[in-house]
Amino acid sequence: MKKNIKKEWLKKTLFFFIAALLFSCSFDKPEIPELSVKILKIETDAGTIEERLSLFLMYKDENGRNDYSSIQLVHLESGLTWVLNRENTSFFSSSQLRASDSEKTLWAGSNKIASPFGQIPIGEYSIVLEDLSGNRAIKKITVKEPETPLSKPFVFQIQDGRWKVEGAEDSAFQSFFLILLGADKQPLFVQGLPEGSKLEDSIASLLEKYPDTRYIQCMAQNSQGDTAYLTKYHSLY
């Protein structure tokens, strides 16, 4: 009799423990502490410029990256919708994040969002971040007409084991970033560069910090942060 009571007590205890664990996990809603949305002018291998929308949000979830499901982007006026699922979302860290944040806080998104009409539609967008339990975080943003100079506002070169960035004089695009990518051309890390129109350093110092890097791109952003130019992929090998 006592054994049966003990077994029942153990079963109930185990049941309530598992239920409490599942309940606590399913209600850890994702958060969007920061958001970066800009129109990108991307240099192709053929030397032409194509327009894309870059959407990256700081994805924060106590259950970690594995709880991520999707980001849905909707242009409210036209209903045009893009979905970034686990297969076509890039995850990376940046110089803005502490090392202790790397598991629960990452940048998630894509800079390859293309419009079927060529140009990215301006106006109001809704951004919906969803985890595997169906919990959502929602933000609304406005994409404005991009700032478009007559020529590319900077030059990026790799030569003799060094990278070099030189911005055009009087250009509004003076915030530079190095984007380090793996063999699959997915971002690994984004390094903000100090202010200045002429910047350079050795490739070896980058590879020492980020040995999995196989490609590099350079991005120049305007002061408003809503328009940027991105170079083509440069191989480091």
In a domain, 14, yes or no: no
Same domain, 227 and 193: yes
Which residues form the domain of 210? 154-235
Number of domains the chain is built from: 2
Distance of CA 120 to the CA centre of its chain: 18
Question: Which of 111, 143, 175 is the last residue in one of the domains?
Answer: 143
> 158-174: per-residue pLDDT in tens?
999 999 999 988 788 98
If asked whether residues 94 and 170 sit together in one domain, one would say no
Confidence of residue 177 (pLDDT cuts 50, 70, 90): very high
**Same domain (yes/no): 136, 181:** no
Same domain for 160 and 138: no
Q: Where are the alpha helices (DSSP H) in 108-161?
A: none
On whether both 137 and 158 belong to a single domain, the answer is no
96 confidence band (pLDDT: 50, 70, 90)? low
Helix extents (H) in the chain: 2-26, 203-209
Residue type at position 109: G
Q: Are residues 176 and 218 in the same domain?
A: yes
**Least confident segment among 12-16, 43-47, 92-96, 117-121:** 12-16
Same domain? For 128 and 177 the reply is no
Residue type (1 letter), 220:
A
Could you tell me if residue 115 is inside a domain? yes
Question: 182 and 138, same structural domain?
Answer: no
Q: What is the pLDDT of residues 113-152, one digit of tens each?
A: 999 988 999 999 999 999 998 999 999 999 999 888 777 8
Average pLDDT over residues 196-218: 91
SS3 of residue 1 by DSSP? coil
116 domain-assigned: yes
User: E-strand spans in 5-100?
Assistant: 35-43, 49-60, 68-75, 81-85, 90-94
In a domain, 96, yes or no: yes
Judge if 178 and 116 occupy the same domain.
no
Residue 93 has pLDDT above 70, yes or no: yes
pLDDT, tens digit, for every residue of 66-79? 888 999 999 999 99
pLDDT at 18: 45
Residue 181 lies in a domain: yes
Domain end marker among 113, 143, 173: 143
- Give domain status of residue 25, yes or no: no
Domain for residue 136, yes or no? Answer: yes
What is this structure's pTM?
A: 0.76
222 located within any domain: yes
Judge whether residue 190 has pLDDT over 70. Answer: yes
Question: Using one digit for the tens of pLDDT, what is the confidence trace for 25-65?
Answer: 445 788 888 899 999 999 988 888 899 999 999 887 777 67
CATH code where residue 63 lies: 2.60.40
Decide if pLDDT at 231 tops 80.
Answer: yes
Instruction: Please report the pLDDT score of residue 138 as a whole number.
Output: 95
